[in-house]
Amino acid sequence: MTAARRNGRIVGAGLLVLFVVLALVAIWFRHTYQRVEKTLYLPPSDEAAYNPLYALARTLEADGVKVNARQRLMLDDNALAPGDTLLLFNDPRALSPPEAEQLLGWVERGGHLIVRTPLRTFGTGLEDEEDAPSALLDALSVWLVEEDPDCEDFQVEGEDHHVEFCRGRRFAFDGIVPELAWGNLQAGYVYARVSRGRGHVDVLADVDFLVNTGARGDVGESLDAPPQGGLRDAPHRALARQVLAPNYGHGTMHLVYAAEMPTLWRTLFLRGWMVWIPLVLALAAWLWMRTQRFGPPVPAPAGDRRSLLEHVRASGEHLYRYGRGVMLYAAVRQAFLTQLRRRDPVAAALGGEPQIEAIAARTGLPVERIRTALNAPASHDRKAFRDRISMLIQLRNRL
């Protein structure tokens, strides 16, 4: 059997084993796991994320009611007809006296106005605004109750026990008897309907039953459970139908809400972390590189040395290490001869053997050693180099 055929059979057997293993895994997966459908309730997006009356507007439109939902009152651009209904979700203290007078004039011609009392500002840092006057509520002779009573029971047939207006600001009237009222004079009203001309004004302690469901996706909240609250609750739908009853289906439903848009910084912090985290890290790294350190990151370089002897010794070691010892010998020999000319000009003027004998007579050293010292050593003979240099220095000192 050739090597190619043997390798082919091995590869074929391996592919067959792999196919069998994959088939067994597929069969095991199909018999073990079961496909199921799961519903996840995602957080609201687009207009539903900032319009608290979005669900109410869509519900009214589905019922055939004409809806005009907007963030601001804007009476000049949105004329109110006698059969219309206006729901003011905003704080009524934001209305100016001319706007309040214009709204009450429209109510007298047959309009239906729904307004809420201001929210409590205790603990929010806005306590000074709690006593701010409201032109609309003052015109309706409404004054706010300081006490904070319990919730009001609200029972709808076929539904569980329910309570409303737990966080609302109760109110009372000064010299006015409401057409419909919910509450009492002692604890204050949570809802009242006042007739004014051919129209009506509904005052409520809170309108949370008209808003969308709570925000989804909070920390610790499961997305499997359906959202609760708002118009999803049957008692809220029943109460909303009663509040909107006077002009329901006769005109346009104006829903004025304050846009609950998050600030730019909050949006950047929550949704732009993929950008600002790398930028913050880069800024921190740059600051770390540019900041003044308390100690040097590397040892300080050695300072310049001013000793001439150290420089001469270093130069000599460098020349000697790279085979330039002959140059050092020539320099020492020249220094000796220069000293000889100063001390013994006659011996310096001689040459050859007479000069060597004259130096020997002056220094008292053997002639052979002086002759050896005055001859240049071989470049590779380190011992001869050291001996000749030592002898020349000794001769120089004896002059």
C-alpha neighbours within 13 Å on the C-beta side of residue 36: 5
The fraction of the chain above a pLDDT of 70, given in percent, is 89
Q: Are residues 52 and 167 in the same domain?
A: yes
User: Looking at this protein, which amino acid is placed at residue 279?
Assistant: L
Q: Are residues 135 and 54 in the same domain?
A: yes
Tell me the residue ranges of DSSP E strands in 130-252: 142-144, 152-153, 163-164, 171-173, 180-184, 188-196, 199-204
Q: Is residue 205 part of a domain?
A: yes
Q: Are residues 188 and 111 in the same domain?
A: yes
Can you tell me the mean pLDDT for 290-301? 72
Whether pLDDT at 123 is above 50: no
**315-374: per-residue pLDDT in tens?**
877 777 777 777 888 888 888 888 888 888 888 888 888 888 888 888 888 888 888 888
Can you tell me the mean pLDDT for 281-302? 80
Q: Are residues 72 and 201 in the same domain?
A: yes
Can you tell me the mean pLDDT for 94-101? 88
Q: Is residue 172 part of a domain?
A: yes
Whether pLDDT at 126 is above 60: no
Q: Are residues 254 and 351 in the same domain?
A: no
Q: Is residue 273 part of a domain?
A: no
Q: Are residues 182 and 253 in the same domain?
A: yes
| Residue ranges making up the domain that contains 363 | 308-398
Higher-pLDDT residue of 178, 160: 178
Final residue of a structural domain among 196, 230, 262:
262
Q: Are residues 341 and 238 in the same domain?
A: no
**How many residues does this entry show for the chain?**
399
Whether pLDDT at 304 is above 70: no
Q: Is residue 10 part of a domain?
A: no
**2-25: per-residue pLDDT in tens?**
777 777 788 888 888 899 999 999
Can you tell me the mean pLDDT for 238-244? 90
pLDDT at 343: 84
pTM for the full model? 0.56
Q: Are residues 51 and 114 in the same domain?
A: yes
**185-210: per-residue pLDDT in tens?**
778 889 999 999 999 999 999 888 88
Q: Are residues 255 and 312 in the same domain?
A: no
Q: Are residues 61 and 117 in the same domain?
A: yes
Q: In the chain, how many domains are there?
A: 2
Final residue of a structural domain among 202, 231, 262:
262
Q: Are residues 248 and 349 in the same domain?
A: no
Whether pLDDT at 302 is above 80: no
pLDDT at 124: 41
Q: Are residues 109 and 230 in the same domain?
A: yes
Q: Is residue 20 part of a domain?
A: no
Here the CATH number for the domain that contains residue 203 is 3.40.50
How far apart are the C-alpha atoms of 399 and 390, rounded to whole Å? 15
Q: Is residue 2 part of a domain?
A: no
> Can you tell me whether residue 67 is helix, strand or coil?
strand
Q: Is residue 92 part of a domain?
A: yes
